[in-house]
Amino acid sequence: MESRHNTSNSSALFALPPIQGGGNATESLLSYLVRLARAHQIDARRLVRYSVWPALPLDGAGLAISFYREDARTVNGIGRYAHAFTQALERLTSVQGLEGLTFQAWKGVIPEIGAGFLAKEVRWCPTCLAEQRHQRVDSHFPLVWSLDAYQVCTRHHRPLQHLCPWCGKRQQLIPHYPDQARCTHCCGYLAPASSMQTQETIQETDLRRAHSLESMIATPEDKIMPTQPQLMAILQTAAERWTEGEKKKLSRILGLGDRAISGWANKQQKPAFPQLLQIADRLDMTLHQLFTQSLPDRAPSSSSPDQIKTRPRPAAQLSKATLESLLRQQLETSNSAEPVSRILKRIGVTRSYAKYWFPELLAQLTYKHQLSRQQATAERQIEDVERVARVFRNIADGGSYPSIRQMSQALRPYRLSLQREPLREEYNKLRESIRNTELSRP
């Protein structure tokens, strides 16, 4: 499982060999960091704070608690923390090639800031962890587990887990105890012995997608570094082969919308990671094959340019003048103040289309709805205060003192509580009036 790596004779930290091999065999850089702490028998966060963080090539960046809660997950990604931690750990351990424990090889085609790439929580395959323990190897988390779209383990055909089987809590990105196989809250083992026998049914589509994601993590010999221009060249070839050069039709074939590919080409933008993954899925190729193999001669069989039927855009169904007339009619209707979203849904246009042409009308409709809600809230509050007064008098007329407990019981069926300030003020006022009446009696 261990690939070739270079070490020098001296280093500040142990020259711990990384676990590599491509696919789901390669561990993540965070996993390597925790194993390094275990090798030194220290708290993983102490290793980060006192050894790794001071060595990071970052300008004026102090270690904040938010790093452990959120930013630590990007150490496995393509951004500045992935680059900085790779450099620091290579310098501290004298082990080279640690960028292979991250997705930095794909930074040329994946945007650094974007949704749907890295998972926001720690996930694992219990059977994989149980096997590691059974084989007496260091507990480690494969890099592919940190991808948001990676949902199932391809070795054991079971979904990844994200909650401790003992305490039901999520795991910290960088734990204190230097063993990722232990819960960061109760220290229970995340893979009970029963994990070895568990069998679950998963979808074939989930398996294919998981294999596609694993292909991103190649061995050092097969590593690729795709770029945005390379992706555009692939899509241009596909357009010329299948749609006579029309990128709009190709976008539809790939399920990306009408202007996705043209937008990437014109603005030199990178597609969001879920879009890149969808392209490979529709072409029935892995992400690695998308950049290393030739495209098929025929378009995806699920749809062809002639077979594609898309819903007409709302703008084509409704003219600008008609839309303006309907919006003004809704604005002038005195007995109606619906939410803008409901109005546009009934009319049959999107908010972006209506806002582009008539932003002032939409603002007025929004303001009208807000006023209506405020008025309704005020009216309900008056009714609730009157309800408190009636309940108070009913209890008093029955010969009982309207205590807070009795009032709360009587108000419960109406879903009212004296914890609300206006209702509490009304109750205090009524209670004071009773006291004054009793004091005024001879």
Which one-letter DSSP state was computed for residue 97? -
pLDDT of residue 177: 93
Rounded CA separation 188/176 (Å): 14
Distance of CA 156 to the CA centre of its chain: 25
Residues 256, 176 within the same domain: no
CB 14 within 8 A of CB 93: yes
Q: Tell me if 168 is assigned to some domain.
A: yes
Rounded CA separation 30/140 (Å): 9
pLDDT of residue 336: 67
Q: Tell me if 203 is assigned to some domain.
A: no
The structure tokens listed for 404 are 């807070």
* The CA-based dihedral angle spanning residues 295, 297, 302, 308, taken in that order and rounded to the nearest 10 degrees: 100
List pLDDT tens digits, range 196-242: 665 667 888 999 999 999 999 988 888 899 999 999 999 999 999 99
Rounded CA separation 28/8 (Å): 22
Residues 320, 262 within the same domain: no
Q: What's the domain range around 291?
A: 226-309
CATH label of the domain that carries residue 281: 1.10.260
Q: Which of 293, 309, 325 is the last residue of a domain?
A: 309
Q: Tell me if 333 is assigned to some domain.
A: yes
Q: Tell me if 323 is assigned to some domain.
A: yes
Residues 420, 336 within the same domain: yes
Which ranges of 215-319 does DSSP label H, i.e. alpha helix? Answer: 228-242, 247-253, 260-267, 273-282, 287-292, 314-317
Q: Which residues contact 159 (CB under 8 A, 6 or more apart)?
A: 151, 152, 153, 200, 202
* 300 Rama class: left (phi>0) / alpha (psi -120 to 50) / beta: beta
Q: Tell me if 132 is assigned to some domain.
A: yes
pLDDT of residue 198: 59
Q: Tell me if 328 is assigned to some domain.
A: yes
pLDDT of residue 375: 85
Residues 337, 403 within the same domain: yes
* Residue 215 exposed, middle or buried by CB count within 10 Å (0-12, 13-18, 19+): buried
pLDDT of residue 145: 97
Task: Collapse the DSSP code of 189 into the 3-class scheme (helix H, G, I; strand E, B; otherwise coil) and give the result.
Answer: strand
List pLDDT tens digits, range 108-141: 999 988 889 999 999 999 999 999 999 999 999 9
Residues 263, 175 within the same domain: no
Residues 297, 159 within the same domain: no
CB 347 within 8 A of CB 323: yes
Measured from the Cβ of residue 17, the count of other Cβ atoms closer than 10 Å reads 16
pLDDT of residue 10: 64
Q: Which of 249, 277, 309 is the last residue of a domain?
A: 309
Q: Tell me if 2 is assigned to some domain.
A: no
Residues 284, 374 within the same domain: no
Which one-letter DSSP state was computed for residue 418? T
Which one-letter DSSP state was computed for residue 294? P
pLDDT of residue 297: 83
Residues 178, 39 within the same domain: yes
Residues 268, 411 within the same domain: no
Residues 384, 277 within the same domain: no
Name which of 98, 48, 37, 88 is nearest 72 in CA terms: 48
Rounded CA separation 132/118 (Å): 24
CB 2 within 8 A of CB 17: yes
Report mean pLDDT in 10-residue bins for the chain, 442 residues. 46 93 95 97 95 87 83 95 96 96 96 90 94 92 97 92 92 94 93 69 89 93 92 93 90 88 89 95 94 89 45 53 84 77 84 82 86 85 90 88 88 86 89 79 64
* 70 Rama class: left (phi>0) / alpha (psi -120 to 50) / beta: alpha
List pLDDT tens digits, range 20-44: 999 999 999 999 999 999 999 999 9
Residues 152, 256 within the same domain: no
Task: Collapse the DSSP code of 440 into the 3-class scheme (helix H, G, I; strand E, B; otherwise coil) and give the result.
Answer: helix
Q: Which of 290, 309, 328 is the last residue of a domain?
A: 309
Main-chain phi, psi angles of 153, to 5 degrees: -85, 125
User: CA–CA distance from 207 to each of 32, 67, 121, 326, 354 (Å)?
Assistant: 26, 32, 21, 49, 42
Name which of 185, 134, 135, 133 is nearest 164 in CA terms: 185
Task: Collapse the DSSP code of 228 into the 3-class scheme (helix H, G, I; strand E, B; otherwise coil) and give the result.
Answer: helix
pLDDT of residue 294: 92
DSSP states along 326-350? HHHHHHH-TT----HHHHHHHHT--
Task: Collapse the DSSP code of 159 into the 3-class scheme (helix H, G, I; strand E, B; otherwise coil) and give the result.
Answer: strand
Number of domains in the chain: 3
Q: Tell me if 31 is assigned to some domain.
A: yes
Number of DSSP helices (H) and strands (E) in the chain, helices first: 18, 2
pLDDT of residue 268: 87
Residues 304, 322 within the same domain: no
